[in-house]
Amino acid sequence: MGKVWTNPEGAAGLRAALLAWYDRHRRDLPWRRTRDPYAIWVSEIMLQQTRVAVVVDRWREFMACFPTVFALAAATEQDVLALWSGLGYYRRARMLHKAAQAVATAGGAMPTTSAELRKLPGVGSYTAAAVASIACGERIAVVDGNVERVLCRLAGWDAKGGHERKVQELAARLVDEDRPGDFNEAMMELGAIVCLPRNPQCLVCPLAGSCKTRGEHKTAVRIRSVVREAGCALCLRAGPCVLLEQRPSTISVMPGLWELPALRDVPNGNARMTVRHAIMNVNYVVRVRDVSEEDLPELAATGSERRWVRVNEAMAMALTGLARKILKRIGKGLG
């Protein structure tokens, strides 16, 4: 038992078992119904640091608005960010937009190899391998966090890290020649729904007979979350309209997005509402206070601006995730 994949026959058996499991149990995700490199590329960018359940509807909305690389290339950055709002890590959207413009300028044909895909802005080795294997059938391994966990457990390597090269080599050796895209997706799927970081479902794992650890394997220590408090100013007037503030283009975090003006201190008793919002390992407790425009501090000379916008129209703007969350609650109350 264990490590039978070290010989050709064992590796072939592992591939067959994994693909048979994947054919029976894979989740029905919309981007798995196409082999369009553009559509798969968009899904891979969205899935970075974002849960599948969140991406499904957002991918559909994005593809409905920008069904081709030409449509995305022709859009304004603000239109792209507006559809991306709430997914976070907005640099992904900006680089996706720039890459689409590069592809459109070159004639509109998406690159079909991982080497060519890596030349696009914002496309790293992981994304290039995923798109090339899934959409174009290139025999190249895809290694994300889920795949790394599966392979480390399979081989019995310490989960503390330092095995990047060995993991990549093992993944490359195992990837199926005839169905490389399906094999890569199967490995990622196995890590996502069976070989979990905690409480792995070893009894239903198709690779249990080839696994050295059978789940008796510690995972990396999770980063502890941090709680911080913040405040926002809610300025409303007839319409109903809300006053929004654009983040300066000169800052590194979410430049150009629209949000409610920030307040340094909002006592709990003065808050209209309290909203919880998480960004990576930071959990924010945000108190929202009714404030008149006259009581707001002057806008710093950063090239930014403030703008009165109808509440229902604001939802189509490039909002920060926190602003979108607050305005959804405000809209329900006003409705």
Catalytic (active-site) positions? 44
Q: Please return the burial class of 265, using the count of CB atoms within 10 Å of its CB with bins 0-12, 13-18 and 19+.
A: exposed
Block residue for tokens 């959804």: 328
Token duo for residue 47: 């899935």
Count of beta carbons in the 10 Å neighbourhood of residue 41: 27
Q: In what order do the strands lie in the sheet with 282-290?
A: 262-263, 226-234, 282-290, 273-279
CA-wise closest residue to 32 among 181, 151, 142, 132? 181
CA distance 28 to 300: 49
Per-residue CA distances from 313 to 140, 290, 335 (Å): 45, 20, 14
Alpha-helix residue ranges (DSSP H) falling in 35-163: 37-47, 52-65, 69-74, 77-84, 91-105, 114-117, 125-136, 145-155
Distances (CA, A) of 174 to 14, 159, 180, 205: 8, 20, 10, 17
C-alpha span between 230 and 149 (Å, rounded) = 36
CA gyration radius, the chain: 23
Q: Are 288 and 234 in contact (CB under 8 A)?
A: yes
Q: What is d(CA 18, CA 218) in angstroms, rounded to the nearest whole number?
A: 23
